[in-house]
Amino acid sequence: MNAVEVRDLAKTYRNGVEALRGISFEAGSGSVFGLLGPNGAGKTTAVRILCTLSSPTSGSARVAGHDVVRERRRVQENIGYVAQGSTVDPEATGRENLMLQGRLQRVSRDALDERADRLLASFGLTEAADRRVQGYSGGMKRKLDLAMGVVHGPRVLFLDEPTTGLDPEARRSVWRELTRLTREEELTVLLTTHYMEEADLLSGRVAILDAGRIVARGSPDGLKSDIRGDRVTVELEDEDRTEEAGTVLRGLDSVVDAATDPESGLLHAHVTHGARAVPDLVAALERSGLTVAEVALSRPTLEDVYLEATGQTFEEAAEAAGDGEDAGVRA
């Protein structure tokens, strides 16, 4: 049984921004489904519709067996939602935040006391439960957000960029808790993220969005296996010449495509027969007066899947989109 079913879902905002352009996917019960894409791809709009916070322009969607437009109340009774920004009250304690959320969700007092104690223990927050949240670390606040999202025992949990802004250790801790929740509570999680590693580790199936359309869909391993070849990451001594290096590599027979990452200053190339291609790449760059500081060879990633489908990296797509979806959401 599918916990989430989306058919030809489209959303155009009043200012003309087309945030979704007919997307379709299903998320099976008791699984983690990753909705991936760069900022502005349409992920947040899709989640807002599925959570009944926005209405689609066309198409349909069902969550926990209920239509998100015609059965809004039934959908709301069966879901939890954790927004990208934290919603905890910093002046209240962790336990007070959790109890208030439970009462808002109409959990009985006896059941709520037990549920709160269990969640605080599961998320490693028991010792901090009676301290004000303003003294919590970012990772602790995020764990409390997750506990509040499931305090009422929902069938489907929507997580919008759950680990944005967390350090790597806190991010891994949140990943462990999400894995435990899906296993122990038979919870379906729909996760939006632009972290490829996060989606790869957590999701049984993913859909990759670009400019409001799904460009790839399937299991992470299946999508990566469809890409033939390897990925080469190049760091130059002079980062200002990375674009020039990309032009050089795109002229080589062994290079399928190459793209630069403006944020890191690295060059990523998709090549055939990586072990044989790396010496040729380095030699070609050196002949052009470009000194290589470091080169690494790896197997394809989900970002390579996106690059293969769109011809650009996540960073390039987000920069090209500008305000895009966010402008529509504000309208």
How many residues comprise the chain?
331
* Residue 251 shares a structural domain with residue 159: no
* Residue 243 shares a structural domain with residue 205: no
Would you give per-residue pLDDT tens digits along the chain (331 residues)?
A: 799 999 999 999 999 999 999 999 999 999 999 999 988 899 999 999 999 999 999 999 999 999 999 999 999 999 999 998 889 999 999 999 999 999 999 999 889 999 999 999 989 999 999 999 999 999 999 999 999 999 999 999 999 988 888 888 888 888 888 888 888 888 999 999 888 889 999 999 999 999 999 999 999 999 988 887 888 999 999 989 999 999 999 999 999 888 887 777 899 888 988 888 999 999 999 999 999 999 999 888 898 898 888 888 777 777 776 655 655 665 4
When computed from its CA atoms, the radius of gyration of the chain, rounded to whole angstroms, is: 22
Domain membership of residue 115 as a residue range:
2-223
Kindly report the pTM of this predicted structure.
0.81
Q: β-strand 66-67 against 58-63: which pairing, if any?
A: antiparallel
Q: For position 71, which CATH number holds?
A: 3.40.50.300
**Residue 326 is assigned to a structural domain of this protein:** no
* Residue 269 shares a structural domain with residue 132: no
**Residue 108 is assigned to a structural domain of this protein:** yes
Alpha-carbon gap, residue 7 to 78, rounded angstroms: 20
* Residue 210 shares a structural domain with residue 240: no
Angle, alpha carbons 201-191-176 (nearest 5°): 45
Q: Which residue, of 183, 207, 223, is where some domain finishes?
A: 223
**Residue 161 is assigned to a structural domain of this protein:** yes
